[in-house]
Amino acid sequence: MWAYLIRRLWQMVPTLIGVVMLVFFLFKYFGADPAVILGGLNATQEQVAAITKQLGLDQPWYVQLGIYLKQIVTFDWGRSWATNESLANLFATRLPATLTVMIPILILDTLVALPIAMWVAYRRGSLSDRSIMVITTIALSISFLVYIIIGQYVFAFQLGWFPVQGWSDSLLTNLLTYVPLPALLAVLVGVSPQTRLYRSFFLDELGHDYVRTARAKGMTENTVLFKHVLRNAMIPILTNIGYSLPGIFVGSFLIEIFFSIPGLGREVYLAVNRGDYPVIQAATVYLAMLTMLINLATDLLYKLVDPRVVLK
């Protein structure tokens, strides 16, 4: 186990270096000139030149790369070009809001989709199965933006159950007042693809010989479904959850913008609009590191769920 863990961590190093180099050169040679963006349409050549010098963009590329690598190694991401805010402070203050919204969404998505998927898989071909598949197909064909607009109009403006927008410094207030509506709408969208995916996992397991053997031995359907089918389907389910996990640390810019949530997703969106490259670069590398660590944690969970899995 420890040898596998050390080997996987070591293998992440060249991958992370590749991501860092790619991000640096893409923004260096293919992005718009940030000095022009920050200067605005009416900026003179002298003002653009002054901004370029202030940002250090007049230095040779290898000097800029060295500064960039030093920032990554020391976890000192520098400052935002647009607001002059420390990126460390930016991540520390925006990430809690993102997690407050995204963690309940991920948990509810999984807890709602799993039992529905197992139920329709067990009743494959029935009217209930076909009806739910039709409903999920329709739900998938509608843009999330439509859910947000209609949800805000119905639940906030018409019924007055939730505020349209807002955020506070209290975690409890946020969870009870501002999170329910965006979480509800996100789950309405997210539960459809999850249900269809998990249904396919359960159907695959239900077709195996061990299920027929368990039933032949007289086991109850609950025992077959929850003790055998669910456990064997957990590896692809964990893979899907692991794939979704990095998203909760970045957030949804649609949710955060339309509900005025001061999260990381909205900050990245604003950074893209104003050409704030340090924020975008830091978020990209941060997400790459997070994705690799979550993939490693998912692989380790495979062993916990199924002892037959051998980590090599």
pLDDT tens-digit map of 264-309 = 888 888 888 777 778 888 888 888 888 888 888 877 777 777 666 6
In this structure, is residue 56 part of a structural domain? no
In this structure, is residue 136 part of a structural domain? yes
Give the range among 78-82, 181-185, 186-190 with minimum mean pLDDT. Answer: 78-82
Quick check: 256 and 175 in contact, CB under 8 A? no
pLDDT at 286: 83
pTM of this structure = 0.77
Task: Report the share of the chain in percent with pLDDT over 90.
Answer: 0
DSSP string over 196-264:
HHHHHHHHHHHTSHHHHHHHHTT--HHHIIIIIIHHHHHHHHHHHHHHHHHHHHH--HHHHHHTT---H
With a cut of 80, say whether residue 106 has pLDDT above it.
Answer: yes
With a cut of 80, say whether residue 147 has pLDDT above it.
Answer: yes
In this structure, is residue 26 part of a structural domain? no
In this structure, is residue 66 part of a structural domain? no
pLDDT at 217: 78
pLDDT at 41: 63
pLDDT at 130: 86
pLDDT at 33: 66
pLDDT at 252: 76
CATH number of the domain within which 102 lies:
1.10.3720.10
Which of residues 250 and 136 earns the better pLDDT score?
Answer: 136
In this structure, is residue 222 part of a structural domain? yes
Partnered with residue 86 across adjacent β-strands are: 79
In this structure, is residue 281 part of a structural domain? yes
In this structure, is residue 7 part of a structural domain? no
Domains: count for the chain: 1
Q: Quick one: average pLDDT of 138-165?
A: 85
With a cut of 80, say whether residue 158 has pLDDT above it.
Answer: yes
pLDDT at 308: 67
Q: What gap in Å lies between CA 79 and CA 165, rounded to an integer?
A: 29
Provide the residue range defining the domain that includes 134: 97-305
In this structure, is residue 47 part of a structural domain? no
